[in-house]
Structure 1
């Protein structure tokens, strides 16, 4: 079982011709509302990919997140947005609150970039709440993936897992620049996913530079990954020094349509490869697949039918 721990949002996405200036009035060309959040997005893709696995090799999926009151319209909408392959029985509810964590995104057609404003009045998960959920899952869980929110608290979650369930694999996403404690999270994980923005904030100029320098500080991890936008993605196995790089996925007439969630999709592709194709694919193939499915995501709105990446992948 793979368990993802992170925030769940309801997204409102406005597509505009360009990004408006301060105090400017601008008409949007499209509006989309959907469930978002890094871990929910990753599970959205994983549930498609694992659908193709046999019963014996299937990968059960669980989300641990904070939601408003169990009876609220927002919670009901979020729960109904997932397929039957994602278990939400271990979510934590903030009774008395009706508003979910919300994300308002302005997507510029002229540049393909997006600007994000978040709202979240839900108290973050506590150590007691997390350990309670983890104990109920027990030895059924084989992998925990963390978004990298509240690093100090997340570090306590990981240390708890190391003590109580030492066989569990742990992955973390190191994404937001300037967030204290992310380096310490990376040093405790088995698999680390670095973002380009975080790496650049530390002065790294390429994904390879980031991974090789980080490998000097990482003692537990078996795999480090870093995406670099138009320059593709890279992966490094610190214990062996094996390094792989793939160019950004593209096809004839490729067009950037919706980059929102591309990083979450890459992580889904790699987690699928690590959990379901561990012995079948080498590192190069695992990285190529994660890169391919992330590229497909960028070329379309939303996350529907991304499992088609498997059909053409040899």
Structure 2
């Protein structure tokens, strides 16, 4: 497989295949060092342990959706090994090969915005031929405060914006950001902003504000992927509601950071769900990866294989 080939992790065709949630964006290798305490600037600190694990916003959200029991798939660029440079992002041409009939929700992590706008427009065109109940719902996460990503705010039924983006525009709270940026989203869209220890707020299609308090865990272990977990929880909750009648509910911000490595996520009663017992992080949906334009590779176990593949050990 050539470096940077677009990869789609999908269940494959079949008359009984359940429609899934597709996450499009980044998958990467996170190298995590564990230390006794947060190091002071310009000091040396002994590392207690180190681990390598799969990361990336869209990849993490797909992992959490799978842990919640949602049928899901991931699309992104994969390298042939555990390291690569300058991998290309998924293009509209890659996305044109996706069978949209297999999905009921597609989520984009904002990256190459001009290409992603074209992907969303393809979904919108696909939806025009369908009754409202059968249309694919879309969501977009705009995290980085980069000018070229801002056009994506105008696309998606659900738009997630980050605290960093809100502060970039000069807003000092999530409600203030939602009121100020509402004009940038399409009519009928839901706009959501999480604000760390302040919780999270959302503005529904009618302009109604919904707030969820933060619920800090007794012991903060690992915040890596907390925002990705929050996004997945919202998508999971809203995707279970009929299109056009979804009730806007938010999981309590902060309940995603009890355990390291996305191995366990305990969501709030607001979301109405609890994840299954912890299992391996590596599988997204316990289904084979298929590479667009390349033969299938057995990197991830199928439904009958419950053990997870391992990443190569860090160099000594």
TM-score (norm 1): 0.71
Does residue 276 (structure 1) correspond to residue 240 (structure 2)? The answer is: yes
Aligned alpha-carbon RMSD (Å):
2.5
Q: Which residue of 1 aligns with 2:44?
A: 25
Does residue 157 (structure 1) correspond to residue 119 (structure 2)? The answer is: yes
Q: Which residue of 1 aligns with 2:159?
A: 192
Measured in 1, the distance between the counterparts of 2:178 and 2:269 equals 27
Measured in 1, the distance between the counterparts of 2:52 and 2:121 equals 37
Measured in 2, the distance between the counterparts of 1:46 and 1:147 equals 15
Alignment equivalent of 2:211, drawn from 224, 245, 261:
245
Deviation at 1:309, TM superposition (A): 5.4
TM-score (norm 2): 0.71
Deviation at 1:208, TM superposition (A): 0.3
Q: Once the two structures are superposed, what CA deviation does each residue of 1:24-76 show, in whole Å capped at 9, x if it has no partner?
A: 533223322211111111111111112xxxxxxxx42111111113xx4x4xx
Does residue 302 (structure 1) correspond to residue 261 (structure 2)? The answer is: yes
Question: 2:65·2:233 contact (CA, 8 Å) conserved in 1?
Answer: yes
Q: Which residue of 1 aligns with 2:172?
A: 205
Secondary structure of the corresponding residue to residue 13 of structure 1: strand
Give the number of the structure whose residues are more often helix, by fraction. Answer: 1
194-203 vs 157-166, which deviates more? 157-166
CA shift in 2, pair 1:175/1:240, >3 Å: same
Matches within 5 A, 1:58-137: 59-69=70-80, 72=81, 74=82, 99-100=83-84, 120-132=85-97, 134=98, 137=99
Unaligned runs of 5+ in 2: 1-19, 129-134, 274-316
Unaligned runs of 5+ in 1: 51-58, 75-98, 101-119
Alignment equivalent of 1:257, drawn from 221, 226, 239:
221
Query: How many residue pairs end up in the alignment?
Result: 246
Alignment equivalent of 1:44, drawn from 30, 49, 63:
63
Measured in 1, the distance between the counterparts of 2:103 and 2:246 equals 23
Q: Once the two structures are superposed, what CA deviation does each residue of 1:226-254 show, in whole Å capped at 9, x if it has no partner?
A: 000010000111x3121111211135xx2
Q: Which residue of 1 aligns with 2:17?
A: none
- Compare relative contact order (CA 8 Å, sep 6+) and give the higher one, 1 or 2: 2
Deviation at 1:261, TM superposition (A): 0.5
Does residue 143 (structure 1) correspond to residue 108 (structure 2)? The answer is: no
Measured in 2, the distance between the counterparts of 1:175 and 1:213 equals 17
Measured in 2, the distance between the counterparts of 1:304 and 1:221 equals 35
Q: Which residue of 2 aligns with 1:169?
A: 137
Secondary structure of the corresponding residue to residue 256 of structure 2: helix
CA shift in 2, pair 1:312/1:128, >3 Å: closer
